Structure 1
Amino acid sequence: MTEIRVPTLGESVTEATIGQWLKKEGDTVKADEPIVELETDKVSVEVPAPAAGVLSKITAKEGDTVELNALLGEIEEGASGEKPPAASKDKKTNGAAAKSEGVAKGGAKDDSTSASEGKDVEIIAPSSGESVTEADIGEWLVKVGDYVNQDDPVVSLETDKASMDVPAPVSGTLKEIKAEAGSTVAVGDVLGIIAEGADGSSKSSADKSSGDKSSGESKIQGQGPANAPTPRAEASGGESVAAGADDQKLSPAPRRVIEEHNLDASRIEGTGKDGRITKGDALAALESGYSKPSQSKAPAPSAPRELGDREERVKMSRLRQTIARRLKESQDSAAMLTTFNDVDMTAVMDARKSYKDLFEKKHGVKLGFMSFFVKACIAALKEVPDVNAEIDGTDIIYKNHYDIGIAVGTEKGLVVPVLRDADHMSLAGIEKQIVDYGTRARKGDLKLDEMQGGTFTITNGGIYGSLMSTPILNMPQSGILGMHRIEDRPVVVDGEIVIRPMMYLALSYDHRIVDGKGAVTFLVRVKENLEDPQRLLLDL
């Protein structure tokens, strides 16, 4: 007997609601086949079968709230269902067999298809990381009829957090594009079809297969037509599909939130599979005040204003939309406050000047300022742990590790890759990692797991010439340090006015968890560690 348990659902997620069971007791399941859908505040996820057999017992019903690792059900391994399908009984069971193999078929094979094409292989939207459930098609890098080699990039996807290229799963000819540029697709959706081994001479077949879509039969087997991309199509009467959300089937989790708070489901845009409303969508709508009007429907949104000859409208990228949303959420949820100080950079600049050549010769990387700041911040975080903590409901989570996010500006927007366990890294290790992150960030090659889970963030506006700023928190973190440009300024040292290279420092912090005393103490320690780097060596 194999147990089905709630998997890890992401950072800070401790429970989920059973959305729906995709199988019922007594059904035969295959290993890794989705069997139950869970909904959290952030995302909907499908739990795959841990083994092949028969779903013998369901212990958690739809609508139940379950914690991590809770028992959901049991599978009797190796057992077969009461009515196993015969492999060659009729066309219907033949189609089911094809479905289990994940082969795209639209009934009988087209006689005009060349034998050299081999089988059709689907290009699937890959999983893009924790909490990422959908993406926009950026552009197709090849067109229908083009020959591609296995692992060649064929289409670029743009998620909330990064851009990525999807490689060809096999060598062959791109036979069909199922998701056009600009459309939104979910993880697991079919993006296109490659005729394996085809040499590019079968474009007419591809055109024919595209026309077969009008037959009303889904050609995507394995997940069924519900897995196809769901654009906001026009419904009868000219209303969008989303406008009928009140009438759509809601799973128990979002339905409970909508009913308890009298939300207007027609105004909630679903981000789940097939555009369904998730619990997270309902909670987001609650924060936005989407309650039902007492008598009349909410007014329709106003039409976009007309542009003049010297104006241009460009759709925001998903990355830019996410940056805007997260920054606004940070301002709305945290009691954000900023404290300032300035630091004399003489000691750090002298150290760089004295050892830069030797450092680069030995380690193969230049000695920059950022490694000094990372080390100075870690020492201060150890003294003021509140700045390295986060709020989770009515609890405070103290982090006994130091994963420092380094903000990197790119052409597409700001990304924050994370230095894992930075307290165990040398100055050279930090500099090498930062150079690598910066290079790959500008190429769009960062992985999503490299931008998640930071405990504190450092951002350097000085490289753009900023004199002073108030950085916005990178939620759920409680602190972010802003660096600025270095400039010679007159300061008083030992009763004399001298010229020193000075930098303003800004610490924005969440006042709900960090008191003013702690914030000021933290920033003073950073200042002291930079003005006298030997304090770091002596652990003072």
Structure 2
Amino acid sequence: MFQTARGRVPRIIAESFLIATLAVSTGAASAVAQTSADIQLIQEPSPVPSPAQTNTNVTMPALGETVSDGVVTRWLKSVGDVVKAGEPLLEVSTDKVDTEIEAPASGVLMKILVDEGETAKVGATLAIIGPPSPVPSPAQTNTNVTMPALGETVSDGVVTRWLKSVGDVVKAGEPLLEVSTDKVDTEIEAPASGVLMKILVDEGETAKVGATLAIIGPPNSAAKTN
């Protein structure tokens, strides 16, 4: 009985040590994995911002091994002109050669630093080209609704009914109002899409041919809300 008990004690101790070792190993592996994940997150590259558009210098090129300067004989573009990369920009003359200098970049000729007839050293800045100007979107303007000519002898018409109210959204070609003359009764369509901003001739009133009956604003104008 005593020997059996003594034999079990080392076995129990060994098993306990093995379990503890496995637990420590598992915890260490988890810690390593977490640390690796943290490092990966830290090393994740940040998005590279797009480079800002900057000015470009037009410089006097080296036009020969022994040429140290040149004379600007003629500018082919003026300040404010749009230029394209590779387009002839100016003419220069040296004691060896007369040649054209091309624009090194596309953009707008912002400033001329060396005028015609002046001399510049090789590498000197002759002009500055700015970045291309963004093309402005066409401005949205109001559209007038006018009284059309409804006959050769018709000089005016009466607005009998408005089919839309101020603030309503209208579509080009959609019936907008009804008019009456001594020759015909008809509908007038909206000449453009947008918002009916203002009615200038009320129902029952008379307007001459060509007179403005209403104003339609651009589609993004404040529309009437129900």
Shorter-chain TM-score bucket reads: 0.3 to 0.5
Query: Which structure: larger Rg?
Result: 2
Return the structure number with greater relative CO, CA threshold 8 A, min gap 6.
2
Taking structure 1 as the reference length, what is the TM-score of the superposition? 0.16
- Pick the structure with more helix per residue: 1
**TM score, norm. by length of structure 2:** 0.37
